[in-house]
Structure 1
């Protein structure tokens, strides 16, 4: 594990009925969702900014204290965090940028820490079908006002996202002034992040559209390089997972892969993955079966063991 530089994982999550990430309104009474056009089709997505926010929120739910936002220190500057990565896990893992205004006898400066955690948008693999949820707000009727009628774009489909963690940059570098965190705390921060990913939940639009976006499939690897190898290699046709592409990816990067694991809920996808070093499966969700499989929880536990070994 000592030769590894990064941990990467790509995950799939099915959403049956949701409006995950709001976009600019196309009409006054319609709340839109974010979409990207591919050919003639529109595919909904959750922005990487929203995924990062969701991960921060889960870290706080799991008991971590976050770096509070602070007002800009120069006129018209952007708000930032406390910029203390040694103290706050989110400053360490997600980075920051801040500026300080020049004063008498002191030059102005910019401080930054590039994010250790790299996040892709959570993109739907199924196109938007034009579905709308009809709603009426009756809050003003007692005062004699008319009901406020509105619509919200909704979507059902499978979403795919990727995360890459630069393990060699956790707890050191910009903002640490040569005082690196101890190895135990480095490992704990990464393991807490893995717990946040395993329990991923976005708070936006959940009052009426409660959705579970925690991974139901995950392909992960410890790598000697920094490359999200599964990002474009997890493909699904209907409910059939392209297992050949996954196995070929693992084979192609055999020299770079230190360890790999795959977790999938059995009963949702058809087929099995050959050539993986270990396979994790949660029973009762995907179609078909994967022989010799482990649970999703066991797959994440295995990743946590990699992290402990790496930082030991």
Structure 2
């Protein structure tokens, strides 16, 4: 069988990287609650997508609001715009078009999960003032509070390699298909996020994934960090049970995790940068490039 599904799960360390609606003068983090009542902050897939598209220089797809909803312009096609090729679209079509409901849609080729914290939120608040400006004008000081959480986060990207660059009668060159996927991989390797005057580094500290015959995000919701140690046994079992050995690449950043030696020995881990090189080579192999 062709190995048409590329998936990679990553861990990064970040602080307070996505806020939701505030209450009064309190900025609240986006959070979800598990059955044990622990809360975990997360960075929504929409926020992650925004940063990925922006840093890939793909945020040029034209939009319009003629239908009453801001959406991609009907004239935009995947031939010219990688954003809607990889992340999909919904475009309202004119009356008489064959699409049901008057809309043309494309499901995402690159599917992105939320980046969910691996350590529970403990309710920490940062006390904020604008004292520096207030004293300049002899004005009253403004006071605000902001929830803060520093944690490891994990997220997954899964790409259907056989669907890249194909939409109806459009079928772009294989070289361009490969280039789009490699740009996406490069962006994830060096991803960052600007928020509240900070630039958070979302570059992965641990990665695991590969190109497989099943388009399953195998490692999503399987990677954990307990006591600063990665759950090696779970990942070993997953690789063995699904016959992923030989196709899976693992990368780890030196000096971060307490069981780094075990990860390197048991999962044959290399550096994070080396894994991304392997994945780009897999993309070249799939699309038949010689280099």
Instruction: Classify the secondary structure of the residue corresponding to 1:272.
Output: helix
1:260 aligns with one of 248, 254, 263: 248
Instruction: Classify the secondary structure of the residue corresponding to 1:118.
Output: strand
Instruction: Classify the secondary structure of the residue corresponding to 2:60.
Output: coil
Instruction: Classify the secondary structure of the residue corresponding to 2:71.
Output: coil
Change (3 A) 1:33 1:133: same
2:280 aligns with one of 304, 309, 312: 304
User: Could you say which residue in structure 2 is the equivalent of 1:34?
Assistant: 30
Check conservation: 1:243, 1:274, Cα contact below 8 A: no
The answer to which structure has the higher helix fraction is 2
Aligned residues: 279
Equivalent-residue separation in structure 2 for 1:225 and 1:274 (angstroms): 26
TM-score scaled to structure 1, two decimals? 0.83
Q: Does 1:188 align with 2:179?
A: yes
Equivalent-residue separation in structure 2 for 1:195 and 1:204 (angstroms): 22
Equivalent-residue separation in structure 2 for 1:116 and 1:274 (angstroms): 34
TM-score scaled to structure 2, two decimals? 0.89
Unaligned runs of 5+ in 1: 281-294
Check conservation: 1:93, 1:115, Cα contact below 8 A: yes
Check conservation: 1:83, 1:96, Cα contact below 8 A: no
| RMSD (CA atoms) | 2.2
Unaligned runs of 5+ in 2: none
User: Could you say which residue in structure 2 is the equivalent of 1:10?
Assistant: 9
Bigger shift: 31-40 or 265-274? Answer: 265-274
Instruction: Classify the secondary structure of the residue corresponding to 2:273.
Output: helix
1:73 deviates by 2.8
Equivalent-residue separation in structure 2 for 1:296 and 1:142 (angstroms): 48
| Residues 72-114 of structure 1 deviation map (CA, whole Å, 9 limit, x = unaligned) | 232x2233255321011111111110113438xxx98311111
Check conservation: 1:9, 1:218, Cα contact below 8 A: yes
User: Could you say which residue in structure 1 is the equivalent of 2:78?
Assistant: 85
User: Could you say which residue in structure 2 is the equivalent of 1:114?
Assistant: 107
Within a 5 Å distance, the mapping from 1:51-130 to structure 2 comes to 51-60=48-57, 65-74=58-67, 76-81=68-73, 83-102=76-95, 109-130=102-123
1:268 deviates by 2.1
